[in-house]
Homo-oligomer: A and B are copies of this chain.
Amino acid sequence: MVKKVEIFCPATVANVGPGFDILGFALDAPGDIICLERTTEKKHIIQNDSEIDLPLNPEKNVATVALDAFLSSLNSNEKFHLTFKQKIPAGSGIGSSAASSAGAVFAANLLLEKPYTEADLVPFAMKGEEVASGSAHADNVAPAILGGFVLVRSYEPLDILGIPSPDGLYCSVVHPEISIATADSRKILKTSVPLKTAITQCGNVAGLVTGLITGNFRLIRDSMHDVIAEPIRSFLIPEYDRVKKAAMNTGALGCSISGSGPSLFALSENKDTAEQIGKAMESVYSEARIGSKVYVSMVNMKGMKVLLEE
């Protein structure tokens, strides 16, 4: 019987351009490292060995909220000792809460000898997202668990599917040191959109998935336009237009808001370009005297990585 599991839970980019609310993908780095062990305590124990502040109360921590949804579906009274060894900064827009929620249920599923398939775990992880942002969205937790690009075709009923993507697709993320709460970022969106805008978004998202599946970089580039969320949310992000322009001028296929920000992500065809884009985006923030952190990563096709199982 497995007693202890340690896993790497990847950061994720959601709201991929025109795929607002429905398309996300996983990164190779950064990520959470979570260790899960059974405990005989009466409640879950959360231990934080990371450098990031996080709630130690199991009712407020997204990981234990997700764990409880998972355990309750199994009518299990199991309790866990959960250690965060590494944590993606909260409020970064690259799926910090998703990594914790998805990581916890993924680890628990291993400890309990896989009562569920990986895809089955998504709804439990979404319960954590609901606590984090007020909306049980799946476009971070699904790619965190499944890897690669994931389309959330429908929420009712939940229908999630992996979208093949071309080999060697890279992503550069810049995280400026400002904070935006996902819940606020959602509130500023308009509740309706012009018909023409909706059709433009549909054309671009259909073009983007077609470009991803068929490996058509020209099409990915031409389709990477979000006409619904980006025009509104980008106002919350300092230097947005300049950072995006710097990425595009350095060869990005597209650049948009990662999740609900403040991070921006840019897609590119190879590692060199991705690194140059990362530097170009960082420079803009550096010139504006805003601290920022850059991550350059291949699209992560595997999702979770088991580091230890004993």
Contacts and interface: CB of A to CB of B under 8 A. Distances in A.
Interface of A: 18-23, 151-154, 159, 161, 163-164, 189-195, 197-210, 213-214, 219, 222-223, 228
A249 to B, nearest CB: 20
A198 B194 CA distance: 9
Nearest to A198: B198
A106 B287 CA distance: 55
A18 to B, nearest CB: 7
Contacts of A204: 153-154
Given A198-B193, A198-B198, A206-B206, A153 B22 contact: no
Question: Which 6 A-B pairs have CB atoms at the shortest separation, nearest pair first?
Answer: A153-B207, A198-B198, A22-B203, A192-B192, A153-B203, A202-B205
Nearest to A225: B154
Given A151-B207, A154-B222, A213-B213, A190 B195 contact: yes
Nearest to A227: B198
28 contacts: A19-B202, A20-B202, A22-B199, A22-B206, A151-B206, A151-B207, A152-B203, A153-B219, A153-B222, A154-B204, A154-B207, A159-B207, A161-B210, A161-B219, A163-B210, A190-B195, A192-B192, A192-B193, A193-B193, A193-B195, A193-B198, A195-B228, A202-B202, A202-B205, A206-B209, A209-B209, A209-B210, A210-B213
A191 B194 contact: yes
A151 B19 CA distance: 17
B210 A151 contact: yes
Contact of A189 (B161, B195, B208, B228): B195
A195 to B, nearest CB: 6
B222 A159 contact: yes
Contact of A206 (B153, B189, B197, B200): B153
A228 B194 CA distance: 12
Contact of A198 (B19, B201, B206, B207): B201
Nearest to A228: B198
A19 B223 CA distance: 16
A214 B205 CA distance: 16
A213 B189 CA distance: 33
Contacts of A192: 192-195
A257 to B, nearest CB: 16
A230 to B, nearest CB: 14
Contacts of A197: 198
B153 A223 contact: yes
A222 B160 CA distance: 12
